[in-house]
Protein backbone atom coordinates (compact mmCIF):
# COMPACT_ATOMS: atom_id res chain seq x y z
CA UNK A 1 0.00 0.00 0.00
CA UNK A 2 1.32 3.40 -1.00
CA UNK A 3 1.78 5.79 1.95
CA UNK A 4 2.83 9.42 1.95
CA UNK A 5 5.20 10.77 4.59
CA UNK A 6 4.92 14.52 4.07
CA UNK A 7 7.15 17.11 5.72
CA UNK A 8 6.76 20.87 5.85
CA UNK A 9 9.02 23.90 5.97
CA UNK A 10 12.58 23.92 7.27
CA UNK A 11 12.67 20.18 7.97
CA UNK A 12 15.33 19.96 5.25
CA UNK A 13 17.55 21.68 7.85
CA UNK A 14 17.42 18.69 10.23
CA UNK A 15 20.81 17.64 11.50
CA UNK A 16 22.34 21.00 10.57
CA UNK A 17 20.92 23.21 13.37
CA UNK A 18 19.20 22.85 16.76
CA UNK A 19 20.18 19.21 17.48
CA UNK A 20 19.09 19.78 21.09
CA UNK A 21 15.48 20.12 19.94
CA UNK A 22 15.27 18.02 16.78
CA UNK A 23 18.11 15.50 17.18
CA UNK A 24 21.14 14.97 15.01
CA UNK A 25 19.55 12.90 12.26
CA UNK A 26 19.19 14.46 8.84
CA UNK A 27 16.06 14.41 6.70
CA UNK A 28 17.87 11.83 4.54
CA UNK A 29 18.32 9.57 7.60
CA UNK A 30 14.64 9.98 8.41
CA UNK A 31 13.67 9.06 4.85
CA UNK A 32 15.92 5.99 4.88
CA UNK A 33 14.39 4.70 8.11
CA UNK A 34 10.82 5.32 6.92
CA UNK A 35 11.40 3.61 3.57
CA UNK A 36 13.17 0.63 5.23
CA UNK A 37 10.37 0.28 7.79
CA UNK A 38 7.81 0.45 5.00
CA UNK A 39 9.57 -2.38 3.18
CA UNK A 40 9.34 -4.57 6.31
CA UNK A 41 5.67 -3.95 6.94
CA UNK A 42 4.30 -3.82 3.42
CA UNK A 43 4.06 -0.08 2.78
CA UNK A 44 5.47 1.69 -0.24
CA UNK A 45 6.64 4.88 1.46
CA UNK A 46 6.76 8.03 -0.64
CA UNK A 47 8.72 10.50 1.55
CA UNK A 48 8.60 14.19 0.64
CA UNK A 49 9.53 17.59 2.05
CA UNK A 50 8.65 21.05 0.83
CA UNK A 51 9.17 24.67 1.77
CA UNK A 52 6.29 25.75 -0.51
CA UNK A 53 2.82 25.59 1.03
CA UNK A 54 1.03 25.18 -2.32
CA UNK A 55 3.10 22.06 -2.97
CA UNK A 56 2.04 20.46 0.31
CA UNK A 57 -1.58 21.33 -0.52
CA UNK A 58 -1.26 19.62 -3.92
CA UNK A 59 0.18 16.48 -2.30
CA UNK A 60 -2.67 16.41 0.22
CA UNK A 61 -5.21 16.82 -2.60
CA UNK A 62 -3.61 13.85 -4.41
CA UNK A 63 -3.79 11.82 -1.19
CA UNK A 64 -7.47 12.73 -0.86
CA UNK A 65 -8.28 11.85 -4.50
CA UNK A 66 -6.34 8.55 -4.42
CA UNK A 67 -7.20 7.65 -0.79
CA UNK A 68 -3.54 7.42 0.18
CA UNK A 69 -2.74 7.24 3.93
CA UNK A 70 -0.61 10.16 5.18
CA UNK A 71 1.94 10.67 7.93
CA UNK A 72 2.19 14.46 8.18
CA UNK A 73 4.68 16.71 9.90
CA UNK A 74 3.42 20.06 8.66
CA UNK A 75 6.09 21.80 10.80
CA UNK A 76 5.27 25.50 11.36
CA UNK A 77 2.20 25.34 9.06
CA UNK A 78 0.67 23.06 11.71
CA UNK A 79 0.17 26.15 13.86
CA UNK A 80 -0.61 28.74 11.18
CA UNK A 81 -2.32 27.26 8.15
CA UNK A 82 -6.10 27.04 7.83
CA UNK A 83 -5.42 25.90 4.25
CA UNK A 84 -3.42 22.86 5.39
CA UNK A 85 -6.17 22.07 7.90
CA UNK A 86 -8.84 22.33 5.18
CA UNK A 87 -6.82 20.00 2.92
CA UNK A 88 -6.46 17.49 5.76
CA UNK A 89 -10.23 17.58 6.27
CA UNK A 90 -10.63 16.09 2.77
CA UNK A 91 -8.60 12.94 3.57
CA UNK A 92 -10.46 9.66 3.96
CA UNK A 93 -7.57 7.22 4.46
CA UNK A 94 -5.71 7.38 7.81
CA UNK A 95 -3.91 10.62 8.69
CA UNK A 96 -1.33 10.62 11.49
CA UNK A 97 0.13 13.94 12.63
CA UNK A 98 3.72 13.70 13.85
CA UNK A 99 6.16 16.13 15.41
CA UNK A 100 9.76 15.36 16.27
CA UNK A 101 9.67 17.57 19.36
CA UNK A 102 7.04 17.66 22.10
CA UNK A 103 5.27 20.81 20.94
CA UNK A 104 3.30 20.94 24.23
CA UNK A 105 6.52 21.45 26.21
CA UNK A 106 7.42 24.40 24.01
CA UNK A 107 6.09 27.93 23.32
CA UNK A 108 2.30 28.38 23.60
CA UNK A 109 1.99 29.20 19.88
CA UNK A 110 3.04 25.59 19.15
CA UNK A 111 0.20 24.16 21.27
CA UNK A 112 -2.51 24.70 18.68
CA UNK A 113 -2.67 22.58 15.52
CA UNK A 114 -4.91 23.05 12.48
CA UNK A 115 -4.16 19.40 11.59
CA UNK A 116 -5.11 17.56 14.82
CA UNK A 117 -8.88 17.87 14.42
CA UNK A 118 -8.64 15.86 11.21
CA UNK A 119 -6.02 13.31 12.30
CA UNK A 120 -6.64 9.75 13.47
CA UNK A 121 -3.71 10.17 15.85
CA UNK A 122 -1.10 12.68 16.96
CA UNK A 123 2.44 11.77 18.03
CA UNK A 124 4.80 14.42 19.39
CA UNK A 125 8.19 14.29 21.06
CA UNK A 126 9.38 10.84 20.02
CA UNK A 127 11.63 11.99 17.20
CA UNK A 128 12.05 9.44 14.43
CA UNK A 129 10.22 6.82 16.53
CA UNK A 130 7.01 8.80 16.04
CA UNK A 131 7.22 8.42 12.27
CA UNK A 132 7.92 4.69 12.60
CA UNK A 133 5.01 4.18 15.02
CA UNK A 134 2.72 6.06 12.63
CA UNK A 135 3.74 3.76 9.77
CA UNK A 136 3.05 0.67 11.92
CA UNK A 137 -0.40 2.04 12.74
CA UNK A 138 -1.16 2.58 9.05
CA UNK A 139 0.05 -0.90 8.12
CA UNK A 140 -2.28 -2.39 10.71
CA UNK A 141 -5.29 -0.17 9.92
O1 LIG B 1 8.74 19.12 16.24
C2 LIG B 1 8.41 19.16 15.06
O3 LIG B 1 8.52 18.22 14.29
C4 LIG B 1 7.89 20.49 14.48
O5 LIG B 1 6.85 20.19 13.56
C6 LIG B 1 9.07 21.13 13.77
C7 LIG B 1 8.78 22.52 13.24
C8 LIG B 1 8.16 23.40 14.34
O9 LIG B 1 7.78 24.65 13.78
C10 LIG B 1 6.95 22.74 14.96
O11 LIG B 1 6.46 23.58 15.98
C12 LIG B 1 7.33 21.40 15.55
C13 LIG B 1 10.07 23.20 12.78
C14 LIG B 1 10.85 22.45 11.76
C15 LIG B 1 12.16 23.14 11.57
O16 LIG B 1 13.19 22.18 11.67
C17 LIG B 1 14.46 22.62 11.84
C18 LIG B 1 15.40 21.64 11.98
C19 LIG B 1 16.70 21.98 12.18
C20 LIG B 1 17.08 23.30 12.23
C21 LIG B 1 16.11 24.28 12.08
C22 LIG B 1 14.80 23.93 11.89
- 55 vs 23, more confident: 55
The 10s digit of each residue's pLDDT in 1-21 is 999 999 999 999 999 878 888
The 10s digit of each residue's pLDDT in 86-112 is 999 999 999 999 999 999 999 999 999
Decide: 100 in ligand 1 pocket, CB within 6 A: yes
24 pLDDT above the threshold of 90: no
User: Which class does domain 2-140 fall in?
Assistant: alpha beta
Q: What's the confidence (pLDDT) of residue 20? A: 84
Whether the CA torsion 114, 122, 118, 9 is positive or negative: it is positive
Decide: 60 in ligand 1 pocket, CB within 6 A: no
Q: What string of DSSP letters covers the chain?
A: -EEEEEE-TTGGGTTTS-HHHH-S--HHHHHHHHHHHHHHHT-EEEEEE-S-HHHHHHHHHHHHHHT--EEEE-TTHHHH-HHHHHHHTT--S-EEEEESS-GGGS-GGGS--SSGGG-SEEEES-THHHHHHHHHHHHH-
- C-alpha 20 – ligand 1 centre gap (Å): 12
Q: Say how far residue 100 (Cα) sits from the centre of its chain.
A: 9
Atom 4, ligand 1: residue with shortest CA distance: 75
Q: What's the confidence (pLDDT) of residue 43? A: 98
Q: What's the confidence (pLDDT) of residue 16? A: 87
Atom 6, ligand 1: residue with shortest CA distance: 75
Sequence spans of domains, the chain: 2-140
Strand partners, 4: 46, 70
Amino acid sequence: MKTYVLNGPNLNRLGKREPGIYGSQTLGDLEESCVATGEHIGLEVDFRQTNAEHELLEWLHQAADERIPVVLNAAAWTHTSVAVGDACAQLEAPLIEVHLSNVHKREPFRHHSYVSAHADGVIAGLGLHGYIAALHYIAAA
